[in-house]
A and B are shown apart, each in its own frame.
Chain A
C-alpha cells in the first residue's frame, strides 16, 4: 500500500478539526430529534464515525455542517424505524428555564417547548430544530432534508403553529405564566 499524500493527510486533519467544532451542534440536533440524551449522543457519535468513514466523498470547501447533519438525520430515521423508544420524551432535558421578554406579560418554559417538540411530526420537528434552534438557513435546510425551499418554509410555518397550539392548549401545565 502506498503512503497517503501530504494533501490527503492535511484534508483528513481538516476534516477531523471540522468534526470537533461541530460536536455541540450535532449533539443539539440529535437531542432535539430523538429527545433522549443517551440515544442522541449515540446517534451523534454514529454520525461522526459514518462521516469519517465517508470523508472521501465529501468535497472540501462545500457545506460541511449540512453534509454532517444529513448523515445524522438519515441515521436517525434508520434508527427510529427499529426503535420506537427514541420518540419518547427525556425528562433530563426538562430544566424549568423560563424564557421571557422584559416588557412582555407572558413567559414560556423551555422544557415545555422541548416536550411539545417531541409531539410534532418528525418532518416539522426537524425543520424547527434546524432553522429555529440551530440557525440553519432555508437553503441549507433544503439541502439537508432534500426538499424544496418552499417545503421547508411551509413545514416551518406549520410546525411553529402546531408547537404554539400544543403549548397553549396543554392543560394543567401552566405553560404560559403571568410575569409579575
Chain B
C-alpha cells in the first residue's frame, strides 16, 4: 500500500519554526511576576487565609 508523501513546503516550515523559536524562549520574569500576583489573589480568597 503506497503511502502519501507530503511535499516539503518551506513557507509552512518557516512559520512553524517562527512559532517554535518564540515558544522555546525562556519566559521573561514579567510573566512570572504576573503569575505571582494571580497566585496571591488565589491565596487571599482561600478560607482561613489571613488577609
Contact = CB atoms under 8 A, between A and B. Distances in A.
B27 A24 contact: yes
A28 B23 contact: yes
Q: How large is the interface on A (under 10, 10 to 19, 20 to 34, 35 or more residues)?
A: 35 or more
Interface in A1-51: 3-4, 9, 12-13, 16, 19-20, 23-25, 27-28, 31-32, 41, 44-45, 48-49
Contacts of B21: 95, 97, 110
Q: Which of A9, A110, A129, A164 has the most CB of B within 10 A?
A: A110
B14 interface: yes
Contact of B38 (A19, A109, A114, A132): A19
Contacts of A108: 10-11, 13-14
A152 interface: no
Given A24-B22, A41-B28, A133-B18, A3 B45 contact: yes
Contact of B13 (A23, A99, A117): A99
B30 A41 contact: yes
Interface of A: 3-4, 9, 12-13, 16, 19-20, 23-25, 27-28, 31-32, 41, 44-45, 48-49, 52, 93, 95, 97, 99-101, 103-104, 106-110, 113-114, 117, 128-129, 132-135, 160, 163-164, 167
